[in-house]
């Protein structure tokens, strides 16, 4: 595929590396939830690409929903305040919820979303993140990420759902760019 990244970059994950990992995560989730009917909740917009591929690797009866939270704006830095911009249309009470996120950076977004969903009494709540920028985690934020695709360096990444100023989400690979 000829998707263009028209600026200096460093390839972090190739399309085939991602494909292989998504299939692995999908079968792990299929095994773990074999007797369940989970609801897979994506955090917009970055998780869309990952979620779309992941659910096709999960061999279960499942449903999907989305929430949108405020985040970076057009900056490369994480904002400190998280807000829910769009909430789910489905009730999660008594459901097995699997939250899907593209990348965990400071952890603020997920910590907020987990808190917000926990009070709605899901039967279980787990997290699946394709990328974990572990070094960037904000001190004091305790997050258990149940399924992680890759640990990635503390660089600004684009592609496979991740954007810079809303662009590059459609790249089939993940690359690091600089300011
Ligand atoms: P956190 O709240 O700092 O963990 O940031 C999480 C959100 O910021 C993710 O859902 C991404 O949308 C975005 N984000 C974090 N790191 C990057 C990056 O390197 N490139 C693009 N978006 C990122
Ligand atoms: Mg995101």
| pLDDT, tens digit only, all 179 positions of the chain | 557 898 999 999 999 999 999 999 999 999 999 999 999 999 999 999 999 999 999 999 999 999 999 865 555 565 667 888 888 988 999 999 999 999 999 999 999 999 999 999 999 999 999 999 999 999 999 899 999 999 999 999 999 999 999 999 999 999 999 86
**What's the CA-to-centroid distance between 65 and ligand 1, angstroms?**
20
What is the side-by-side order of every strand in the sheet holding 63-69?
84-86, 63-69, 39-44, 96-104, 124-132, 147-151
Which atom number of ligand 1 is nearest to the Cα of residue 102? 10
| Structure confidence at residue 75 (pLDDT) | 57
Ligand index nearest the alpha carbon of residue 12: 1
**What's the CA-to-centroid distance between 161 and ligand 2, angstroms?**
8
User: Which protein residue's CA is at the shortest distance from atom 5 of ligand 1?
Assistant: 105
Annotated catalytic, 105?
yes
Pick the CATH number of 14-154 from 1.10.3720.10, 3.40.50.2020, 3.40.710.10, 3.40.640.10: 3.40.50.2020
Asked if 146 and 110 touch (Cβ cutoff 8 Å), the reply is: no
Planar angle of CA 45, 104, 92, nearest 5 degrees: 60
| pTM for the structure as a whole | 0.94
């Amino acid at each position: 595929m000829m998707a263009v990244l028209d600026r200096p970059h460093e390839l972090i994950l190739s399309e085939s590396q991602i494909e292989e990992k998504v299939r692995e995560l999908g079968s792990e989730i299929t095994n773990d939830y074999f007797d369940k009917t989970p609801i897979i909740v994506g955090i917009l917009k970055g998780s869309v690409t990952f979620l779309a591929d992941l659910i096709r690797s999960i061999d279960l009866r499942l449903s999907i929903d989305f929430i949108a939270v405020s985040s970076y704006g057009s900056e490369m830095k994480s904002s400190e305040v998280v807000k829910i911009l769009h909430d789910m249309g489905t009730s999660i009470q008594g459901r097995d919820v699997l939250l899907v996120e593209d990348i965990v950076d400071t952890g603020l977004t997920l910590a907020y979303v987990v808190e917000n969903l926990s009070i709605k009494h899901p039967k279980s709540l787990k997290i699946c993140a394709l990328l974990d920028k572990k070094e960037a985690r904000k001190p004091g934020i305790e997050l258990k990420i149940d399924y992680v695709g890759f640990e990635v360096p503390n660089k600004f990444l684009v592609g496979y759902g991740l954007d810079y100023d809303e662009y590059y989400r459609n790249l089939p690979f993940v690359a690091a760019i600089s300011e």
